[in-house]
Amino acid sequence: MTSRSAYDAWHAEHAVDAESDAPWHRLVKHHLVPATDLAGRRVLEIACGRGGFACWLAPRPEPPARLVAADFSPAAVSKARAFAHAHGITTVQWEVGDIEAVGHAAATFDTVICCETIEHVADPRWALRELARTLRPGGRLYLTAPNYLGLMGLYRVYRRLTGRPYTEEGQPINHPLLLPRTARWVRHAGLVVRVLDGIGHYLPVPRRPPVAIGALDRPRWLMRWLGLHSLVIATKPAAHP
């Protein structure tokens, strides 16, 4: 099975995230500045999945001038388009697209949003260079990715040592990312990191979903480095005259 058909099959089993209330979406919402990141801007959500977050972005009081939502999976894009149509959302430009070969010219977008994706592609660093390429000078990237510096990272190592492969909800590619490494890759892509944030501390329990320990989200300046859900906000340097 190819990765595209694998992701089509994966998306076919999941509903549209209509509330866009996943931890990574909450991180982006917390830091998103509509006046400078959405209002009248050209926005790309790459790897939009089944479209719930793009449909949340589109009808904001400060809407983008252009909102492109793209995903590698035609099945996901089909679900997203149908969901948007059912809810009267007509301002999203839906596309089938590859984060490792974004089908837009350089410096096209003012804001690029990418949630929980680079860990699932063959070459995360190349994908980040593609995102940097499509940003205009001064544009901003919102990137979320897992961070396995905490308890879930130890659990992932334990699974590996006991011969049981670890996957994130059965996805075919699962790179073990760490927040410091992700931030370094963003810098190597030519962007300037402005914000690092992270939430989500979980206790693995045998034969049960991990138990969230919300108290460990504080103090944020320290515990962000260990949170499973990480956010990097970066800007593209302005072009020199």
**Per-residue pLDDT at 162:** 87
> Of the candidates 41, 189, 208, 51, which has an alpha carbon nearest to the alpha carbon of residue 128?
189
pLDDT for the residue 95: 97
Report the pLDDT value the prediction gives residue 240, as an integer from 0 to 100: 54
Q: CA neighbours within 13 Å on the CB side: how many for 200?
A: 22
**More confident position, 2 or 84:** 84
Given a contact cutoff of 8 angstroms between Cβ atoms, the answer to whether 124 and 105 are in contact is: no
DSSP assignments along 58-98, one per residue: TT-SS--SEEEEEES-HHHHHHHHHHHHHTT---EEEEE-B
What per-residue confidence (pLDDT) applies to 11? Answer: 82
Q: Which pLDDT value is given to residue 2?
A: 56
Nearest to 196 by CA among 143, 141, 147, 233: 233
Q: State both tokens at 188.
A: 């190597």
Q: How many angstroms separate the CA atoms of 90 and 103, rounded?
A: 21
DSSP conformation letters of 176-233:
---HHHHHHHHHHTT-EEEEEEEE--EEEETTEEEEE-GGGG-SHHHHTTT-SEEEEE
Q: How do residues 32-82 score in pLDDT, each as one tens digit?
A: 999 999 999 999 999 999 999 999 999 999 999 999 999 999 999 999 999
Distance CA(69)–CA(54), nearest Å, equals 6
Over residues 214-238, mean pLDDT: 93
For the whole model, what pTM was predicted?
Answer: 0.94
pLDDT, mean of residues 178-188: 97
Return mean pLDDT, the chain.
Answer: 92
pLDDT at 164: 83
* pLDDT above 70 for 1: no
Q: Say if strands 109-115 and 135-146 run parallel, antiparallel, or are unpaired.
A: parallel
* DSSP single-letter state for residue 101: B
